[in-house]
Structure 1
Amino acid sequence: MASLLRKRVKGEHARVGFVELFFDLVFVFAITQVSHGLLAHLTPLGAVQAAMLLAAVWWAWIFTSWMTNWLDPETVPVQAALFVLMGIGLVMSASLPHAFQETGLSFALAFVGIQVGRTAFMVWAMRADEGLRRNAVRILIWLTASAVLWIAGGLAAPEQRLWFWLAALAVEYASPALYFFVPGLGRSRTEDWTIEGGHMAERVGLFVIICLGETLLVSGATFGELDWSSAKVWAAFISAILSTVAMWRLFFSQAHESASEAIMHAADPGRVARRAYTYSPILVIAGIIVVAVSDELVLAHPSGHVSMATALTLLGGPILFLLGTAVAGWAIWRHVNWTRLVGCAVLATGWLVVPWTTPLTLSIATTIVLMAIGVWESLRPPQV
């Protein structure tokens, strides 16, 4: 049987296949579910649960993106595997709103099915490259160990479930940092993680587009149900659109375009990709989702008192986004983006004026900060 590994051409970037884009549609649904779940349970516990579910959704997606960076998605077996993962992913996504109630076991089994099933397929598909195959075996062992905690949490009482799943996430998120060390098999070497930087940058960019699109969908759906004769509603809607456009501009800047080149020419591309694309984007994605929640809150109640939950989402979403982009830049170039960190500080000071402002005013102010950073960086591009 012919090799299922990607055929790499020196100096050329591997393109993202249509089947990969098709696969991503499942995660549009998943991100929407997480966003709506946070909005419905805007409490400290609800925020922790939403963060945990987002971390799981991201982990399932990024591990699959690593798979298609190594394997050729144009081959029939890889496409068939992606279609199976799509089906399981739909079950996982559908179970997200009640994962801490009656659908906990369904979520756990679907998530484990994605993680363990995909990795078992990788072990078989990578048999032409012993280094990658052994790496897949190590990953499979780690994910099988965490699967016990996922399923135990699904079987546990709802009030105990979070602790099992946080432990499972800790195991999974620690595994790449520990190089998937397994007694008897040793640990992986990032030098052996053949990585196509352009493909990985494009894949992560597409996931960010999914999240930004979900933000626009939430704003549009909420706006459509409101009184269009209200100037405040229109102002809130325009602020929501501009904040989303500003986040798009800040993420898809010159730095994003040069990231794939930096990875391609790095001495150890696997190590850089692990830092920049496996861990760092989770803050960016969390920020976008929180901004989506804040947009819906402001559209529904543009006037009046700013509740603590509204203030936290209005200020916390952009801070998470800016911090995430700064961390990603540091992960690739070891360069501190002071402009975005100053933006975080300015947004944090907004907490001081919360008692004297309205949701709409605070929304406009945070949008102005995001746009100002974009304009500043356009005039004085950051060094990368």
Structure 2
Amino acid sequence: MADERGAALLRGGVSSPRATFLELFFDLVFVFALTRVSQRILDDLGTAREDLPVEIAQTLVIFLAFWAVWTFTAWVTSRYEPEQPQIQFVVVYAMLGCMVMAVATPRAFDTRAVAFALAFVAVQVGRPIFLTLALRGHPRRLVTVRVASWAVASAVPWVLGAVLPGTWRLACWSVAVVVDYAGLMFGWPVPRLGATRTSTWAVLGEHLAERHQQFFLIALGENILVIGLAFSGRSFSAASSGAFLLSFVTTVLLWRIYFHRAGHLLTEAIRVARSPGRLGESMSWTHLVIVAGVLTTAVGYELAIVHPYERTRLAWAVFLTGGPAVFLLARARFEHEVFGRVSRSRLVGVLALAVLTPLATLTVSVVALAAAATVLAAITVTDYRRAYGRPPERPHPAL
């Protein structure tokens, strides 16, 4: 009887692959969370030069914490039936924790460290423990027991870092993030129980693919929000207006490059893959870098809109041209996952943007943004010419 109640939580043959309204509601929190992360980066760029690497490292830790919460929630709703009240509770619970984390983000390494760390720990520890209890006697509860064990282990440096000052906090939280991601990477191995790699999980691959596509759109939504807020607070000068237009065009180009074939065929690629779980696991890591590239690019937008005629500092160039380069590099891996090959235009684009990054310091920020947009536009045109007059390419997953 307990096994039957636990089995009712698992995805069945009649489960819809589409994301539920609650999951889309959950995603709205991350629009706010990503704006807090990008604002932290902008604040970091205003700090003293010697403190900038430390500030950027702190923001990276925060971003990785948010991604850990989102990606595991996506795996949960792809593995368990999201219409079940228990799973809906898990989603709402994670949503509340993310809201607290997002509110604490601006001062996460200062006065709100305890709030950020406890919210994260509450989600990461509470979620697998609740699922273990909800699964009752079902064999799959051993998976959530493994996850909970690693979450408790990472909770120690999270909580310890929250009460320690300065560099000790960054050191402790960095260790905690490594533990969190090592668990995900190696399958949360526990003595006697072994490991359970996500690549072997029975998940609804179409749902997982759609969730990552939706998170990419969330990142683009954060870009739109940054562009609008930055421009609405400025006078409508020719330079700011030009940077605003370039930022919008660049965002559209990111959308076009992502979804051109590979992005559209991700669901089908997982469906035809010989190892859907392995492809899903690889795709999750790829999207982590894709979203990081999009988020980094958004910081460049605000710099160009607010300081269009200022000489580009090297730190600014990292965001203006380096952000699109990171996106393209991850997008090349994404293409390899779906088609088993990489377009030459992606690699040429990464190389061009890498060369432009130091060269951008010789000009003003709006010109650097225009150069990055030109590279992305050239890739978009190349994609169009390559596909014109040819039958649609079908997925051929490399994994």
User: Which TM class, normalised by the smaller chain length?
Assistant: over 0.9
Q: Superposition pairs for residues 366-381 of structure 1, below 5 Å?
A: 366-381=372-387
CA-to-aligned-CA distance 1:293-343 (integer Å, 9 cap, x gap): 111011111113111221111111101111111223334554334321211
Q: Give the drift of 1:267.
A: 2.4
Partner of 1:17: 20
Kindly indicate whether residue 174 of structure 2 is the aligned counterpart of residue 166 of structure 1: yes
The yes-or-no answer on 1:119 pairing with 2:124 is no
Match of 1:286 in 2: 292
SS in 2 for 1:309: helix
Question: TM-score under structure 2 normalisation?
Answer: 0.90
- Determine the structure 1 residue equivalent to 2:273: 266
2: distance between equivalents of 1:118 and 1:339? Answer: 43
TM-score by length of 1: 0.93
Paired with 1:332 and 1:162, the residues of 2 have a C-alpha distance of 37
For residues 80 and 13 of structure 1, do their structure 2 counterparts lie closer, same or farther at Cα, with a shift above 3 Å needed? closer
* Structure 1 stretches lacking a partner, 5+ long: none
1:31 equivalenced with 2:34 (yes/no): yes
Distance 1:28 1:296, change over 3 A: same
Map of 1:193 onto structure 2: 201
Q: Which runs of 5+ in 2 are unaligned?
A: 46-51, 388-392
Contact 1:275 1:332 in 2 (8 A): no
Distance 1:333 1:139 in 2: 32
Deviation at 1:360, TM superposition (A): 0.9
Does residue 1:304 correspond to 2:310, yes or no?
yes
- Between the aligned partners of 1:205 and 1:285, the Cα distance in structure 2 is 10
- From 91, 94, 101, give the equivalent of 1:85: 94
Q: Residue type of the partner of 2:27?
A: D
Question: The residue matched to 1:136 in structure 2 has which SS?
Answer: helix
What secondary structure is seen at the aligned counterpart in 1 of 2:264? Answer: helix
Q: What do residues 346-376 of structure 1 show as CA deviations (whole Å, max 9, x unaligned)? A: 0111135334321111111101111221221
- Which residue in the other structure is 2:263 paired with? 256
Question: Among residues 40, 49, 69, which one is paired with 1:60 in the alignment?
Answer: 69
Give the partner amino acid of 1:374: T
1:211 aligned to which of 215, 219, 222: 219
**Is 1:73 matched up with 2:76?**
no
Q: Match for residue 148 of structure 1?
A: 156
Mapped partners of 1:17, 1:283: distance in 2: 25
Distance in structure 1 (CA, Å) of the matches to 2:198 and 2:113: 35
CA distance in 2, matches of 1:107, 1:352: 36
Once the two structures are superposed, residues 49-93 of structure 1 have per-residue CA deviations (whole angstroms, 9 ceiling, x without a partner) of 111111110111000111111112212222222222222221111
Matches within 5 A, 1:226-265: 226-228=234-236, 230-265=237-272
CA deviation after TM superposition for structure 1 residue 13, in Å:
5.8
User: Aligned residues, how many?
Assistant: 379
CA change 1:315–1:143 in 2 (3 A) is same
Aligned mates of 2:138, 2:13 — CA distance in 1: 14
Residues of 2 paired with 1:321 and 1:92: CA distance? 25
1:356 partner amino acid: L
Distance in 2, matches of 1:207 and 1:93, equals 16
Q: Which segments of structure 1 move beyond 6 Å, counting only runs of 4 or more?
A: none
User: Does 2:43 match 1:40?
Assistant: yes
Which residue matches 2:49? none
Instruction: Give distance in 2, aligned partners of 1:96 and 1:355.
Output: 30
Residue aligned with 1:377, SS: helix
For 1:8, which of 5, 10, 13 is the aligned residue?
13
Aligned equivalents of 2:322 and 2:84: distance in 1? 43
Distance in 1 between the 2:341 and 2:16 partners?
A: 25
Cα RMSD for the two superposed structures:
1.9
